[in-house]
Amino acid sequence: MYRSVSGKAKERLFRLRCAGGLFLFFCLVFLLLKNTAAAQRGVAEGVRLCLDTLIPAMLPLLILAAFFQRSELGVAAARLLEKPTRLLFGVGGAGAGVVLFSVLGGFPAGASCIRTAAEEKALSRREGQLLQLLCFYPSAAFTVGAVGGGMLGSTGMGLLLEASVLLPLPLLGLPLRRLLREPTLPPRSKQAALPPAQAFLDAVEQGARTLLMMCAFVCLFSALPPVLAAFALPAFFRVWLPVLPELTGGIRAAAAVFPLPALAALLSFGGFCAHCQVLPTLRVLRLRYWKFFLFRLLHAGLSAALCRLLCRRIPLQAQVFAPQQLRFAPSAASSAAVSVCLVCMCALLLLGRETVFVTDDSLGV
C-alpha cells in the first residue's frame, strides 16, 4: 500500500512539474515573439560581452587547466600533493588542480577540472561533489580587479569582497566533509599522462567546447532582462532583473545601487547563467541541482554577513566622484519575501531539468 501511495505522489509531482515547465515554455515563447527587437538587442549585448570579456579572459585558462590535468604536470602534482590536499580539503591529489584553477579562473575553470577528474576516475563521486559545492566563486582577478578596482574604484573593496566570498568556505567545508565522508578510500585509477602534443590538442578541444557552451548561456540569459524590461514592472523587479540572470553583466548594474554585503552575496550566488554552465558537471557527479542551489543561498548569506562585519571593522573609502555607487535602492530593501519569490521563480526552470540529469533518487549528497 505504501508503494502505491508513494507512486501516486510521484506521478502527481511529475505532472505538476510538466505543467509548470509547459507554462514557462509558452510564456518564454510569447515574450520572445512579442519583444523580438529587445531579445535581439540582449543577444547582441551578450555577444559583445563574450567577445570583449569572456573569451579573452577564459579561453587561455580553460586550455591551460585541461592541459595541466592531462599532461605529466598534473599527474605528478596529483601524486605529490595527495597527502596535503587530503589533509586540508578532504580530497585526493587531483583536487589540488581544481582549487588552483578555481581561484585563477573562477567557477567555469573549476567545474571543467572537476568534470575531467571525475570522468577519468581521478576523483571519486563524493570528492567531486565536495569540490563542486565549495569551488564555485568568481576568479580573484574579476572580484578584485574588475568589480573592486573598475566598478567601485577601490582595490581595497575588491579585496574585502574576495575575503567575504572565500572565508566562509572553510566553515561550510567542515560539515560537508563529515556529511560526504566515505567509509573507505575509493580505489584510484592510475592516471596516465598523455604525450604533450596529444594533451595540448585535447586541451584545446575541451576548452573550446566548454567556452562555446558558456557563451551560448551568456547570450541566452542576456536576452532575458531586455525582454522583461519592456513590461511595466515594479521598481523592485527593475533593480533585480539585470542582476540575477547573468553575473558578469549584471554586477555592473548591482555596483551602482547595492551595498558591499549585497555584492558579496551576489558574487557567492553566481547567477543562474553560471549555474547552467556547471549543470554538465552536476550530471557527471550525480549531484541534485536543488541541493547545489540551497548551498549557494547558504554561501551567499554567510558572505553577506561576513562582509557586513568586515565593513564595520575595516573602514574603506569609496570612489570620490561616484559616491552613489554604494547607495542602496530603498525599493530593493523593502521586501525580502519578494526577493525570495523571484529567486525561486528563476530556479524553477532549472529544477525542471533535474529529471534529465539525475535518474536515481538514491544518489546525490
Kindly state the cell numbers that stand for 323: 559616491
- pLDDT tens digits, 51-74: 888 888 888 888 888 888 888 888
Tell me the pLDDT band of 355, cut-offs 50, 70 and 90: very low
CA 117 to CA 83: how far, in whole Å?
17
Kindly state the cell numbers that stand for 6: 508513494
Judge if pTM exceeds 0.85. no
Q: Write b or e for each residue in 334-348: b if 16 or more Cβ atoms lie within 10 A of its Cβ, otherwise e.
A: eeeeebeebbeebbe
Q: What's residue 30's pLDDT?
A: 83
Kindly state the cell numbers that stand for 151: 566598478
Select from 169, 156, 66 the least CA-distant residue to 111. 66
Helices (H) and strands (E) in the chain, counts: 21, 0
Q: Cβ(283)–Cβ(290) under 8 Å?
A: no
Residue whose entry in the numeric block shows the C-alpha cell 566533509? 177
DSSP assignment of 37-87 equals HHHHHHHHHHHHHIIIIIHHHHHHHHHHHHHHHHSHHHHHHHHHTHHHHHH
- pLDDT tens digits, 135-187: 898 888 888 888 888 888 888 898 999 999 999 988 888 788 777 665 444 54
Tell which wins on pLDDT, 324 or 201.
Answer: 201
Tell me the pLDDT band of 319, cut-offs 50, 70 and 90: very low
Q: Which of 66-75, 201-210, 275-284 has the lowest mean pLDDT?
A: 66-75
Q: Cβ(328)–Cβ(257) under 8 Å?
A: yes
- Average confidence (pLDDT) over 323-340: 39
CA 202 to CA 67: how far, in whole Å?
8
**Secondary element (H or E) of residue 168:** helix 168-179
Select from 46, 123, 143, 33 the least CA-distant residue to 82. 123
Name, in order, each residue with C-beta under 8 angstroms of 301's C-beta and a sequence gap of 6 or more: 265
Kindly state the cell numbers that stand for 363: 544518489
Residues in the chain, how many?
365
- pLDDT tens digits, 294-311: 999 999 999 999 999 999
Question: What number of other Cβ atoms are within 10 A of residue 262's Cβ?
Answer: 20
Q: What's residue 309's pLDDT?
A: 93
CA 105 to CA 88: how far, in whole Å?
21
Q: What's residue 308's pLDDT?
A: 93
pLDDT at 192 over 90: no
